[in-house]
Amino acid sequence: MKVETQSSILGCLLGTAVGDALGLPAEGMSRQRIARRWKVLQHHLIWNRGMFSDDTEHTLMVATTVLKHRDDPLAFQQALGWKLRWWLVALPAGVGLSTAKAILRLWLGFSASKAGVRSAGNGAAMRSAILGVVFCEDPSKRQDFVKASCRLTHTDARAEESSILVAEAAALAARQASRKEVLETLQPYISSEEMRNHFANLEIALAKESSVISYAEQIGSVNGVTGFAPNTVAVAVYAWLRHRGDFKMTISEVITCGGDTDTTAAIAGGICGAEVDKAGIPKEWINGLCDWPRSVTYIRQVAEAFTHSHPARPFLFWPAIPFRNLIFLTIVLLHGFRRLLPPY
């Protein structure tokens, strides 16, 4: 694997984690409440530190599964299915309803190719950027692996469309493609009426240099970006193109929109991170990540493993995960109670 590709993988993984952690404390909040509460974007979950949610966890599971099954999307899908099964057993604090249903179907004996449920939620799109970067030079594999990942949990055509667009955008980001090339390349993958309308507005908004909030309003996300994949992906892609090369502005603008802030910021962060790599992500945001056993060190180990033809499995102390999840749930609940107090 080329050195620049490995750098993009690290940037994508760190970008996803940073966006996820920064967006998590604002999840479900309106843009007005976010603006009143935080004047400067930094980690706010606990003592100016941030932790990962399911967006980062799924992305890392996809990355480590690809390490073992780089040439077989079916084997990849089956292996990822087992990772998701045990991930749910560890009682994660946050899991989308559709993803939970699909994993329960896996436990009930449904095959990995038939466990998915009809949903256009964000669960598949949020873990797709890394596939775009890993297979940035191989369009055929990129498509096959993205579809395998998506259909494991989501069967709605709009979920697959959104997942493909995220992966394609990340691949283009890793290759430093021009805006013109990005728009031309993404167009053939747009199939739903919702996404066609979103991208028509996207091109107009880019020409006008509209803010990310303004664009979100144009596509109907007035009260925050919802968990509907076409909306989330359109806003994430717009933020990346509007503030090309500026990771800090991209993430800040996405979170300011409100709504499903952790997932929207994770997707935007994965795409933008693939382009700017680690050097383009603010050091204070990386240093502010405080999680374990999935940590910044673990993320670096995963990225480093892609440089080897026969990589050793990055070490993850999985017995600690349920205890970590309990602590994480407690912190999230305390943070939720904090929202009831001024100045919210």
Q: Contact, 283 vs 12, CB < 8 A?
A: no
Q: What confidence score (pLDDT) does residue 186 get?
A: 98
Residue 4 has pLDDT above 90, yes or no: no
Distance from C-alpha of 220 to C-alpha of 64, rounded to nearest angstrom: 36
Query: Which residue in this structure is represented by tokens 């603008």?
Result: 253
Q: How confident is the model at residue 3 (pLDDT cuts 50, 70, 90)?
A: very low
Q: What is the pLDDT of residues 133-182, one digit of tens each?
A: 999 999 999 999 999 999 999 999 999 999 999 999 999 999 999 999 99
Q: Which among 37, 35, 48, 56 has a CA at the least distance from the CA of 253? A: 35
pLDDT range class, residue 1, cuts 50, 70, 90: low
pLDDT tens-digit profile of 213-241?
999 999 999 989 999 999 999 999 999 99
pLDDT band at 341 (very low <50, low <70, confident <90, very high): low
Question: Around Cβ 30, how many Cβ atoms within 10 Å?
Answer: 15
Q: In the chain, where does DSSP find H-type helix?
A: 3-23, 31-37, 54-68, 73-89, 97-107, 129-134, 139-151, 157-174, 179-186, 193-208, 212-218, 229-242, 247-256, 261-276, 283-287, 296-305, 321-338
CA distances from 279 to 98, 177, 275, 344 (A): 36, 19, 10, 34
Domains of the chain and any CATH numbers: 3-338 (1.10.4080.10)
**How far, in Å, CA of 265 to CA of 261, rounded?**
6
Q: What is the pLDDT of residues 87-143, one digit of tens each?
A: 999 999 889 999 999 999 999 999 999 999 999 999 999 999 999 999 999 999 999
The pLDDT of 281-286, averaged and rounded, is 98
Q: Is the backbone peptide bond immediately before 311 cis, with ω within 30 degrees of 0?
A: no
d(CA 308, CA 311): 5
Adjacent-strand bridge partners of 46: 49
Q: How far, in Å, CA of 61 to CA of 82, rounded?
A: 10
Asked whether residue 72 carries a pLDDT value surpassing 90, the answer given is yes
| CA 339/CA 187 separation, integer angstroms | 41
Query: Tokens standing for 220?
Result: 């109907």
Q: What is the pLDDT of residue 308?
A: 77
**Cβ atoms 123, 99 nearer than 8 A:** yes
Residue 343 confidence (pLDDT) above 80: no
Please tell me whether residue 32 adopts helix, strand or coil conformation: helix
